[in-house]
A and B are shown apart, each in its own frame.
Chain A
Amino acid sequence: MIKPFPTLVAGALAAMLAFAPPATAQQKLKIGFITTLSGPQGIIGKHMRDSVELALDHLGRKVGGLPTEVIYGDDQFKPDVGVQVAQQMLQRDNVDIMAGIIWSNVMLATVPVVTGAGKIMVGTNAGASPLAGAQCNELYFSTSWNNDQSPEAMGKYLQDTGIKELYVLAPNYQAGKDMVSGLKRYYKGNIVEELYTKMGQLDYQAEITALRAKNPKAVFIFYPGGMGIQFIRQYVQAGLRDQIPLYSVFTVDETTIPALKESAVGQFEARFWSADIKVPASQKYVADFRKKYGYTPSFYGAQSYDGIMLIDSAVKAVKGNVKDTKAMVAALRKADYDSIRGRYKFNNNHHPIQDFYLLRAVKDGGAPEGVAMHIEKKVFEDHKDAYYKDCKMKW
């Protein structure tokens, strides 16, 4: 009765060899990277793409030891286009892993498509709260933050500093309201006015006139991209820079400083990273980035560089066997690499547990722009987002 046994084993072995992924893994790695490359927001995509290319340079064009091809996709700042680009990458280009995406709405639309196809998504900017909470997913990782963590840090700083009253301005859309609710989670002082302006508004003179009439102790704004350049230019032209201190999130950074220069000086921001952070991996990234491209990278770029380095660490850990998704997820969870923010741990929702800082725009002859963000002080240590408890994932 022992006789059939060896054939069974042999058969099972043959089947395993035929269907299991090859142990020595594949020869090549394909990464699909989605960002915005056209339109006014294309500047953010440029920072991200340049950073991915620099990461590839640093890795000798081999992510996790495999020759790597990165395919860039342009979502044009539209969720439907983002989904379409992702489908193309998954079906036609057959990418192994996806990364990138600037906008929360694009991310929310695209993640189900990627994870539905059984692939891993490494988000390198968008911090949509649902993905940190109830909609968290085994296959979704973030190298950035949740949207309202930066305003939380600003709120805590303003509270600790004893700023008694605050005038708040933000664009009238979901992220604008999320930022203000993040601020309010830690700031308990008097908010004299909470004003939401039209998305993409050009002229803020009416708001600035009304603001000056109220003469508040401090102003908090969230005006990303061109809106911020406009608001700050007009704020400075109204002569308010030296009169009422201006605090912001996602407004003054290395994508807008080239347009603002001196008018940015004195601006306060809150962020998890700054180009002057004293972390060896970041110092190498910033120095080589400035050398290669002639401008200072922003946090958008830093997170994207970090995303490639995170993928690199995981591909190395699974010895190139990228098709083994379970092993990849386990390797990514370790975050076993030298991040631009320093070593960190992932929370149960695959979002980093990390420090946040207060930054200030100062004149800096060492930066190509002449003005740079400098870290003033640490506001949060090992800060977790407010949504991880809604995430059912345990590991």
Chain B
Amino acid sequence: MSFALIFEQLLNGVQLGVMLFLLAAGLTLVLGIMNMVNLAHGSLYMIGAYFAISVGQWSGSYLLGVAAALVGTLLVGMLVEVVALRTLYQRDHLDQVLATFGLILFFNELIAILFGRFALFASLPSYLQGHIELFSGIRYPLYRAVMIGVGLLTAVLLWYVVTRTRLGMLIRAGASNRTMVSALGVNIRLLYTMVFGFGAALAGLAGLMAGQIYTVQPGMGELILIQVFVVIVIGGIGSVRGALVGALIVGIVDTMGRAFLKPILETVISAAAANTAGPALSSMLIYLLMALVLALRPAGLFPARGG
């Protein structure tokens, strides 16, 4: 186990974390601010991937696909909010779970009807292929490095918007006391629609990046959603900062567990036992972590203030 190997695995963990963060950020905002459980967040991630790939292939321009995915998921998100979710804010969480689960089925079938059940082909533009040399012979895939960069940049932007702008102030105020904010003349409905739309666009961003490395097919959103909920529970519901920290922790713990748990176990127990225990334990690791966080800090690592 050389230092270079550990460092590279750490990068892999950060990259997975960044991916989870983009999904968790939108979900935690909707959950924390609008008090809305949105299981269909994974569907928006899927739609982002489909927009990016189909528009990218149709136009021959990767960047056009990226733009289409961001704008497309923003619009789809706002549409879904206006048509379906708006009536659910006052209902209890079980109703929201049922309704958004219905949305999952709807979107999966819609995608299957429009694009078929084949997994979509995706290819990277040549300028995103290849590797970057870090040091002492570590070659890291350029695309993964770009994903880390985009994710961290998004985190900074999001932090700025939520804490340093008027829009962010309104969002936070709306979360604390909805009635008071609307009494002061703020159109809270429009505000909610916008928040939901931006959350959707973040999911779309995650989807368009994931489309190049994961399988793009109907139902792809549900595969990643459970990990995203783990991130939110660890980070604290409604907190963007918590989502970032939670996502990085989950990404790094999951990656490190998969990479090093088995070799470490092998030094303690027999190879055959490590072969069985290693994968079982490493796939449980993030859930054990979640249980630990819930036991010590039930509101998560960074509970949202107010609300």
Contact of B223 with A239 in the complex, beta carbons under 8 Å = no
CB-based nearest B residue for A261 = B121
Contacts of B122 in A (CB 8 A): 233, 259
A259 CA to B53 CA, complexed, in Å: 11
Contacts of B269 in A (CB 8 A): none
B5 contact from A209, A227, A229, Cβ within 8 A: A209
Contact of A239 with B217 in the complex, beta carbons under 8 Å = no
A352 CA to B259 CA, complexed, in Å: 41
Mark out the residues of chain A between 195 and 215 whose CB falls within 8 Å of any chain B CB in the assembled complex.
Answer: 195-198, 200, 202-203, 205-207, 209-210, 213
Contact of B141 with A237 in the complex, beta carbons under 8 Å = yes
Does A115 sit at the interface, judged by CB under 8 A?
no
Mark out the residues of chain B between 91 and 122 whose CB falls within 8 Å of any chain A CB in the assembled complex.
Answer: 108, 112, 116-122
Does B28 sit at the interface, judged by CB under 8 A?
no
A172 CA to B16 CA, complexed, in Å: 21
User: What is the size category of the interface that chain A forms with chain B?
Assistant: 35 or more
Does B73 sit at the interface, judged by CB under 8 A?
no
Does A230 sit at the interface, judged by CB under 8 A?
yes
A43 CA to B218 CA, complexed, in Å: 10
**Chain B 111-139 near chain A by CB (<8 Å), digits 1 or 0:** 01000111111111000011100000001
Contact of A238 with B141 in the complex, beta carbons under 8 Å = yes
CB-based nearest B residue for A210 = B259
CB distance from B5 to the nearest CB of A (A): 5
Contact of A229 with B215 in the complex, beta carbons under 8 Å = yes
Main secondary structure of the interface of A (DSSP, over half): helix
Contacts of A143 in B (CB 8 A): none
CB distance from A283 to the nearest CB of B (A): 24
A198 CA to B5 CA, complexed, in Å: 22
B216 contact from A198, A227, A259, Cβ within 8 A: A259
Contact of B117 with A42 in the complex, beta carbons under 8 Å = yes
Mark out the residues of chain A between 210 and 255 whose CB falls within 8 Å of any chain B CB in the assembled complex.
Answer: 210, 213, 225-227, 229-230, 233-234, 237-239, 255
A203 CA to B255 CA, complexed, in Å: 9
Does B262 sit at the interface, judged by CB under 8 A?
yes
Which of B7-15, B76-84, B161-169, B236-244 has 4 or more CB atoms under 8 Å from chain A? B7-15
Contacts of A238 in B (CB 8 A): 141
CB distance from B8 to the nearest CB of A (A): 5
Contacts of B130 in A (CB 8 A): 239
Does A256 sit at the interface, judged by CB under 8 A?
yes
A136 CA to B66 CA, complexed, in Å: 54
Contacts of B213 in A (CB 8 A): 203, 230, 233-234, 237
Knowing A196-B279, A213-B5, A239-B139, the reply to whether A40 touches B121 (Cβ < 8 A) is: no
Contacts of A229 in B (CB 8 A): 119, 215
Knowing A226-B217, A237-B141, the reply to whether A43 touches B275 (Cβ < 8 A) is: no
Contact of B139 with A205 in the complex, beta carbons under 8 Å = no
A237 CA to B210 CA, complexed, in Å: 13
Contact of B279 with A197 in the complex, beta carbons under 8 Å = yes
Contacts of B153 in A (CB 8 A): none
Contacts of A194 in B (CB 8 A): 275
Contact of A172 with B118 in the complex, beta carbons under 8 Å = no
A226 CA to B121 CA, complexed, in Å: 12
Knowing A213-B5, A239-B139, the reply to whether A259 touches B121 (Cβ < 8 A) is: yes
Contact of B16 with A237 in the complex, beta carbons under 8 Å = no
Contact of B219 with A206 in the complex, beta carbons under 8 Å = no
Does A46 sit at the interface, judged by CB under 8 A?
yes
Does B68 sit at the interface, judged by CB under 8 A?
no
A39 contact from B120, B218, B278, B279, Cβ within 8 A: B218
Contacts of A225 in B (CB 8 A): 215
Contact of B12 with A209 in the complex, beta carbons under 8 Å = yes
A94 CA to B299 CA, complexed, in Å: 56
Does B229 sit at the interface, judged by CB under 8 A?
no
Does B41 sit at the interface, judged by CB under 8 A?
no
Contact of B224 with A197 in the complex, beta carbons under 8 Å = no
Contacts of B214 in A (CB 8 A): 202-203, 226, 230, 233
Contacts of A206 in B (CB 8 A): 9, 12-13, 255-256, 258-259
CB-based nearest B residue for A263 = B123
Does A79 sit at the interface, judged by CB under 8 A?
no
Contacts of B224 in A (CB 8 A): 202
Does A266 sit at the interface, judged by CB under 8 A?
no
CB distance from A189 to the nearest CB of B (A): 17
Knowing A197-B279, A202-B223, A202-B224, the reply to whether A259 touches B119 (Cβ < 8 A) is: yes
Contacts of B143 in A (CB 8 A): 237
Does A67 sit at the interface, judged by CB under 8 A?
no
Contact of B131 with A209 in the complex, beta carbons under 8 Å = no
A239 contact from B9, B131, B215, Cβ within 8 A: B131
Knowing A42-B112, A43-B117, A261-B121, the reply to whether A209 touches B219 (Cβ < 8 A) is: no
Does A89 sit at the interface, judged by CB under 8 A?
no
For the complex with contacts A230-B215, A237-B213, A259-B217, 15 further pairs of A-B residues with Cβ separation under 8 Å are: A40-B215, A40-B218, A40-B219, A42-B117, A195-B262, A203-B12, A206-B256, A206-B258, A206-B259, A210-B9, A230-B213, A233-B122, A233-B212, A234-B213, A237-B143
9 A/B residue pairs, CB under 8 Å, sorted by A: A40-B219, A196-B279, A203-B213, A205-B141, A239-B130, A258-B118, A258-B119, A261-B123, A262-B123
Closest 10 CB pairs of A and B: A226-B215, A259-B119, A198-B283, A43-B117, A229-B215, A196-B279, A40-B219, A206-B259, A206-B255, A205-B12
Which residues does B use to contact A, with CB under 8 Å? Answer: 2, 5, 8-9, 12-13, 15-16, 19, 108, 112, 116-124, 129-131, 139, 141, 143-144, 210, 212-220, 223-224, 255-256, 258-259, 262, 275, 278-280, 282-283
